[in-house]
Amino acid sequence: MPNKDAVAAELIHWHFQIEPGLVAVYRVTNDRESDPKEPIKLIEVNADTIATGSFEAYGFAATREVPFPTLIAEVTPDELAELRRNGRLPAGWDVDGAKQYVRSAA
């Protein structure tokens, strides 16, 4: 089984390549990461997405390229700031403990 951290990093890198408005990605982890059934959880902060005022994570089944289930929530920078300020992120989606990836300036 491939390394989940490496697969997540590759997926994030690919999303930065195809989404020009993507400014940051938070990889949310927990103590069950060694379980292959535990999904990769990403919060994608995208300046080009439409603000909805809600937090919805969309699920994707494991594939050959990403052999782990994946949950991705996409929010605007303002929405993320509001969610953090009001403490309205769903349980299990702690941004403060997440690994942050930012778009390279190069």
Chain segment 27-42, per-residue pLDDT in tens:
999 999 999 999 999 9
Specify the pTM. 0.93
Task: Give the rounded percent of residues in the chain with a pLDDT score beyond 90.
Answer: 79
Percent of the chain with pLDDT over 70: 98
Could you tell me the strand order of the sheet in which 70-75 lies? 57-60, 70-75, 40-46, 22-28, 99-102
pLDDT of residue 90 exceeding 80, the answer is yes
Angle, vertex CA 62, rays to CA 43 and CA 57, nearest 5: 25
Tell me what the pLDDT averaged over the chain comes to.
Answer: 93
> What is the assigned CATH class of domain 4-102?
alpha beta
Look at residue 89 in the predicted model and tell me its pLDDT. 85
**What does the pLDDT average to over 39-64?**
95
Is pLDDT above 50 for 23?
A: yes
Phi/psi of residue 28, each to 5°?
-90, 130
In the chain, domain spans:
4-102
